[in-house]
Chain A
Amino acid sequence: MTADSLDSRKPYQIAVIGGGVVGCAVLRAFALAGARAILLERGPDILCGASKGNSALLHTGYDAPADSLELACVRAGYDEYLAVRERLNLPLIETSAMMIAWTEAERARLPELLARAEANGVAGVVALEAEEVRRRVPMIASGVKSAILIPGEHVIDPWSAPLAYALQAIANGAALERNCEVVGGAFEDELWRLRTSRGMVSAEVVVNCAGLFGDIVDAIARPPPFRIAPRKGQFVVFDKSAAALVDTVILPVPSESTKGVLIAPTAFGNVLVGPTAEDQDDREKAAVDTATLKMLVARAAEIIPRLAGHPITAIYGGLRPATQFKDYQIEVLPDRQWITVAGIRSTGLTGALGIGALVRRLYEKSFAGLKDIANPLWTPVPNLAETRPRPYQQGGSGEIVCHCEWVTLGEIEAAFEGPLPATSFGGLKRRTRCMMGRCQGFYCSWRIAQLAAGRLPPPLATGAAA
């Protein structure tokens, strides 16, 4: 342990547990408010849990329950994303979304959904006739009954956004520790002493953003009033050539239990189909299975027939930290100096910045006033989206190493630098997109392994890096 060991540090004002998108946004909110804050992440990198796999949408909140915390956070998060994204170099792919009714029963539900969107204050949501749907999405299958258009639904980069939040928090004074699992804690003399896998961390207030482990972490403070019920979603990503077939998000009419399988462009120029909604006990594994993936491909081809037989680039699974409740579980325990942020099921990517602002307000109400720092530092992240300039186009970043995603040598080198370098192959992939393309490493994995030697743990536990 270095001189900067966790035990020797003076108490933090705030300790955030969990480095998913929500934890990163909460850390940022406190850093920009001048608080002394630290984030503790159990995994080798941020975004190792629920935030690892999602559908990468920026939601308007058109379908959120009225007066819900989710609606408030999604609306606020949406606005703040738009306000900060240029300064953080984050993309916005203005896809809009279309919810399509394929049956009379589904058509009958659209007015209610339209009214919900209006009541939620989401602008511009309108009904579309089948003909208009076909004009906007010429490749759509026949049989559309009608649809509603949600112009504000967009697509973003699900990895760069939380990375940018974390980096801005660090640049403005926050600490972030990875491989640092909170295993217990004691609350004495108005101070939390958190036991972690790397030593003790003291903090006045703890914010539980532990995602899939939300109830387990909450049990440090109290018997948790909710139970995390992981819900798996599987996805299939089509090759970039599919982007010519569909440039908007296509949503099904939701059922009571799930929003259903959608088709969406990605920030990286692909098209994805998913997610499924499968309840499971395991909080970490999001295994995929052939039958379900085939079903997703078939579903995509029912909606966009030209996707049948289209090359597939990637498959993945993600876990949503659902609870027995529909709404977000955000609560302050003033006596315990604890804030719970749990049950952020599927809108966390959008809601995160709104949750950060909300948690800050709750902190100020219950504990202490904070003041925005003057002239915060902004930390633009490398752009990975096809809609903004990328290094291979601009030059000066070395040769292209990953040929499918056009990732340059300079981008890979940069991912090993800075205050939050990649510490695993997964983290390197998320920071650069290398090996994420159609060949999945056929051409470049040797080069990536060579560049990673000495910087990442060798791929084999036995250690074989030369």
Chain B
Amino acid sequence: MSRHDAIIVGGGPAGLSCARVLREAGVKDIVVLEREPEAGGVPRHCHHPGFGFSQFYWPYSGPAYARRLRLDAKGADLRTVATVIALRPGGEIEVATPRGLETMSGRSVLLATGIRESPRAARLTSGDRPPWGVLTTGALQQHLHMTAIQPCRRPVIVGSESVAFSALLTLRRAGIRPVAMIEEEDRITAPRLGGMIARLAFGVSVLTGTRLVAIHGDAVVEAVEIERDGQRQRLACDAVIMTGRFVPEAALLRASHLELDKGSGGPVIDQHWRCSDPVYFAAGNLLRPIETSGVVGREGEAAGRAMAAALAGQLDAPARRVPVKTSPPLRYVTPQVIAIPGDRPDGLLFRGRVDRPVRGMLRLLRNGEEVWHRKIHALPERRIHLPGGHVSLDGIESLEVRLDPS
């Protein structure tokens, strides 16, 4: 069994940013385990600008951002086609490589396995199940980026989160014009600008208030049935692109001893990015669906600083963990616990999401007393931030984040 100071599981924006920070902090023995043949994560396939801005203040394209992350992480031992298949207590992990299984042990381990979209099966969508032609944005982008195979000619795009517009950009670049973009809600999920761009720049109609009823086709997709204003309609198409409804890629976590937050779908972490087994840290979109690559990169950096501190013996083991209580309409808040003793990082920021559109008062309560509030208008899949840097951790018994609808 090989032993390392730091093992990073997942070589995307969070993992590679963490590797850079660890190296800068003087940590020598860093291994990054990436299961794909190339590190860089999802941005590798997104050939349009909009990546890494909040990290490097430059509007990189996806592939250029991934390249920069890889270059910056030089010095870490980057191992591709290395799949972590089990996490064990104390930082022991099992890895599958083309040579078979091996066990490695890390004094600290970062989990940064990222995120994926919910496929058709998880959405329980009605209809036929052609073995080809129902795909996610991620699959579409990889097809067009990595192969010369056009996976479709006349797709229907389902959903209107930001990623749906990424799908649109990808299709446009490949000269593929979608039949339509449909959204079940009465407004698009991404900022309104997206809808305008879709209509004006791509000539694609965005049908809001439109439900996907069923998929038709045997060997390949032939049509979808949609419902709009109570009317059913058949749209001929050759693919259905299921966009968004992201879920953390948390299979490893679910199979492990680490505590999982049902609300976020990711690990329970404390203010130092530590999981319930404090050898393990977590950052990036594994924590929850979904933040931009730049935010994810920043999280990787912050987790890297915490890991470096832990390796240098500057981070106390948690004696007590105070849960951060939340309730609907908040789906989750990260971090989910505050470790005591523990610093209060100046940048401590609670992040959360709602499960439905809500206007109301967002409150932070410490030991039952309100210490912060703000009026907000929250929408699903838009981030909510609460600054936590001013919260005193001395004598803290309870902490609650609450959103009271007005």
Which A residues have a C-beta under 8 Å from some C-beta of B?
A: 236-237, 239-241, 284-290, 293-294, 297, 309, 311-317, 392-400, 403-404, 406, 408, 424-426, 429, 438-443, 445-447, 449-450, 453, 458-462, 464-466
Contacts and interface: CB of A to CB of B under 8 A. Distances in A.
A460 B152 contact: yes
Interface stretch (B113-121, B380-388, B392-400): B113-121
Contacts of B132: 425, 459
B146 A425 contact: no
B192 interface: no
Given A399-B37, A442-B139, A315 B99 contact: no
A106 B150 CA distance: 55
A230 to B, nearest CB: 15
A439 B116 contact: yes
The bracket for how many chain B residues form the interface is 35 or more
Contacts of B128: 285, 287
A438 B151 contact: no
A241 B251 contact: yes
Contacts of A464: 149-150, 153
Nearest to A285: B128
B125 interface: yes
Interface in B137-155: 138-139, 142-143, 145-153
Contact of A445 (B81, B143, B247): B143
Contacts of B96: 392-393, 400, 406
12 contacts: A285-B128, A289-B214, A312-B122, A395-B101, A396-B99, A429-B131, A441-B136, A443-B116, A450-B146, A459-B133, A461-B220, A465-B149
A430 to B, nearest CB: 10
A285 B181 CA distance: 27
A398 B96 CA distance: 10
Q: Which 8 residue pairs of A and B lie closest in terms of their CB atoms, listed nearest first? A: A395-B100, A466-B148, A440-B119, A399-B81, A446-B142, A241-B254, A464-B150, A425-B131
Contacts of B153: 460, 462, 464
Nearest to B138: A442
Contact of A449 (B121, B129, B143, B254): B143
A394 to B, nearest CB: 6
B127 interface: yes
B220 A240 contact: no
Given A425-B131, A447-B146, A442 B136 contact: yes
Contacts of B81: 399-400
A290 B124 contact: yes
Contacts of A286: 129
Contacts of B255: 240-241
A446 B147 CA distance: 7
B149 A294 contact: no
A315 B139 contact: no
A284 B128 CA distance: 11
B119 A404 contact: no
Contact of B149 (A239, A400, A458): A458
A461 B221 CA distance: 11
Contacts of A426: 131
A49 B98 CA distance: 36
A443 B149 contact: no
B214 A459 contact: no
Contacts of B98: 395-399, 408
B175 to A, nearest CB: 12
**By DSSP majority rule, is chain B's interface helix, strand, loop, or mixed?**
loop
A202 B35 CA distance: 52
A295 B126 CA distance: 13
A460 to B, nearest CB: 7
Nearest to B146: A446
Nearest to A437: B251
B119 A442 contact: yes
B150 to A, nearest CB: 4
Contact of A293 (B124, B133, B219, B220): B124
A239 B262 CA distance: 15
A441 B135 contact: yes
Nearest to A399: B81
Contacts of A461: 220
A446 B131 contact: no
A396 B100 contact: yes
A46 B128 CA distance: 20
A349 B83 CA distance: 34
Contacts of B370: none
Nearest to A289: B126
Contact of B139 (A404, A406, A408, A446): A446
B149 A393 contact: no
A288 B35 CA distance: 33
A269 to B, nearest CB: 10
Interface in B83-131: 83, 85, 96-101, 116-117, 119-122, 124-129, 131
A293 B262 CA distance: 22
B218 interface: yes
A311 B100 contact: no
B238 interface: yes
A240 B138 contact: no
A237 B124 CA distance: 11
Given A294-B124, A445-B139, A458-B149, A240 B251 contact: yes
Nearest to B144: A446
A451 to B, nearest CB: 10
Contacts of B136: 439-442
Given A293-B124, A460-B220, A316 B149 contact: no
Contacts of B142: 443, 445-447
Nearest to A297: B124
Contacts of B83: 392, 400, 403, 406
Interface in B215-262: 218-220, 238, 247, 249, 251, 254-255, 262
B180 to A, nearest CB: 19
A309 B262 contact: yes
B116 A442 contact: yes
A447 B147 CA distance: 8
Nearest to B115: A442
B150 A443 contact: no
A31 B135 CA distance: 42
A316 B139 contact: no
A239 B121 contact: no
Given A317-B129, A392-B96, A400-B81, A459 B119 contact: no
Contacts of A442: 116-117, 119, 136, 138-139
A399 to B, nearest CB: 4
